[in-house]
Amino acid sequence: MKFLSIVTALLALTAAPASATARTQSYVALGDSYAAGIGAGDYTGSACVQSRTGAYPYLWAKAHPTAKLTFRACSGATTATVLATQLGSLSKSTRWVTVTAGGNDAGFATTLQTCLLGSDADCSAAVQQSTKIIRSALPTAADTLYTAIRKKAPNARVYVVGYPHLLSTGGGTGCVFDPTRRQLLNSTSDTLATVLRQHTAHRKNFTFVDGRTILAGHEVCTAHPWIHGLATGDLTESFHPTAAGHQAYAKALTKVMS
């Protein structure tokens, strides 16, 4: 009997780790191409063009085994399309949400193209138009999206992940934009960050994560960029974070996501 008692006790100790294993928790990643992982390589064949192994949501989830990732981010998404097509996976049990959206609302890709190919006047006008949209239309669009996220995932911590400065305003070599245009484009990123931060700050369990800080010193036109310049192969990767850039985003999120 004493032997059986010892065996029973040992079996109980052996089983303890399995029963004590932390349960998985839901992580839902929302947003546009910056969240989908354009620039990081290894893409899915779907229209959303997600990076299967290099996007920051995947990297963060891989580093946190208790997180079960639902990857809804889709290239080309605006705040409106995130609202309409990506929130179905949210629920009361969702623990974490990341969302990167707003750049496409402002037509930032078109502004980049104009500043690349057009005159100084064209670039300035395009930046002014993007800035006008960010200041006038994006606040309501962002609030509508964030309110919907909170309604569908009332218990989640939500991380609004911002965009970087794309271009260094320092000397740089081989840069396709002159210093004036670089400054104009970065000012648009600043306005976008300000609006997203302002409309995150007053919300409980919402946190703004500043992409400008994450990739600071590694913009296009630096010696070691973590953002693609004008891509010579896959043009869609142009001015999106590289694999190293997404790793930096994932590392930054590890510091704040709890």
Radius of gyration of the chain (CA): 21
Contacts with 52 (C-beta within 8 Å, 6 or more apart), sequence order:
42, 43, 44, 58
DSSP secondary structure string for all residues of 129-153:
HHHHHHHHTHHHHHHHHHHHHHHH-
Distance CA 222, CA 60 (A): 26
Distance CA 194, CA 18 (A): 46
Pick left, alpha or beta for residue 76 (phi over 0 → left; psi -120 to 50 → alpha; otherwise beta): left
Distance CA 213, CA 239 (A): 17
DSSP secondary structure string for all residues of 220-246:
BTSSS-SB--S-SS-GGGTTSB-HHHH
Q: What is the largest CA-CA distance in the chain?
A: 92
Residues noted as catalytic: 33, 240
